[in-house]
Structure 1
């Protein structure tokens, strides 16, 4: 998939979801930051109150996929959508993960998101927290290096 095509798809999705509280993150965010060349899918985090409405909007143009429960990922809401020529879309809200017999929750803060080039992006620091929660150490390291470099650049 070309980068221009992905950018157009992300813009189209953001336009569809604009009335709701959401942000694009995951490997698409890493791609946007120049840390990833080929995103795996489109990760969208939204508020719990907007989850059902966003599912309804996505269901008009995308095919909902059956998702099986995960042993450790126990988010309140999760849905996956697919469409020919598109990466899969994973929509999540009320994110929670089981760690050491305890459920650890993460709260989406839509006010942290920002619009850039027609896409509503989540901040890298939020995804660093999520990757820590999801036990993805390589992704955490990528974002940590990026944020340190960003800080260093802002000081010079």
Structure 2
């Protein structure tokens, strides 16, 4: 899938879902910041209250893909869709089963950053999610970017 295709799809989702209670994360978020050259899918995080509504809208827009139970992911809302070969995942009430019980991530829609007409999650939130999802390569990649950005900002003062 071409980079423009995923951006077009993301823009169409803003029209479909409206401007509130959801945001884009995952590899497309990283691509928007130039951290990742090519997004593999589109990860959407939304409020639990709007999950069923968004799921219904997405099922009219894209093909619903069956999801099997994951050994550690226990989100209260999770759905997968496919559109033109691109996977779209919708998540709400994100929880991961750890040795010491369920760890939760609280999505705060007010922290959404609008860039180029797209609602993007905070990179720091995805750092937290990648840590929760036990994705060490992504954690390192994002941590390095955030450290470099922080360093650059403080050096230029």
- TM bucket by the smaller chain? over 0.9
* Alpha-carbon RMSD: 1.2
1:98 equivalenced with 2:97 (yes/no)? yes
2:116 is matched with: 117
Unaligned runs of 5+ in 2: none
**1:15: how far off?**
2.2
For 2:44 and 2:56, how far apart are their aligned partners in 1? Answer: 14
1:62 is matched with: 62
Name the TM-score, length of structure 1 as normaliser.
0.94
For 1:74 and 1:101, how far apart are their aligned partners in 2? Answer: 14
Runs of 4+, deviation exceeding 4 Å: none
Tell me, yes or no, if the aligned pair for 2:112 and 2:120 is still in contact at 8 Å. Answer: yes
2:71 is matched with: 71
SS of the aligned residue for 2:91 comes to: strand
Unaligned runs of 5+ in 1: none
**1:37: how far off?**
1.7
SS of the aligned residue for 1:88 comes to: strand
SS of the aligned residue for 1:49 comes to: helix
Pairs within 5 Å for 1:1-156: 1-83=1-83, 85-155=84-154, 156=156
How many residues matched?
Answer: 155
For 1:114 and 1:97, how far apart are their aligned partners in 2? Answer: 25
SS of the aligned residue for 1:75 comes to: coil
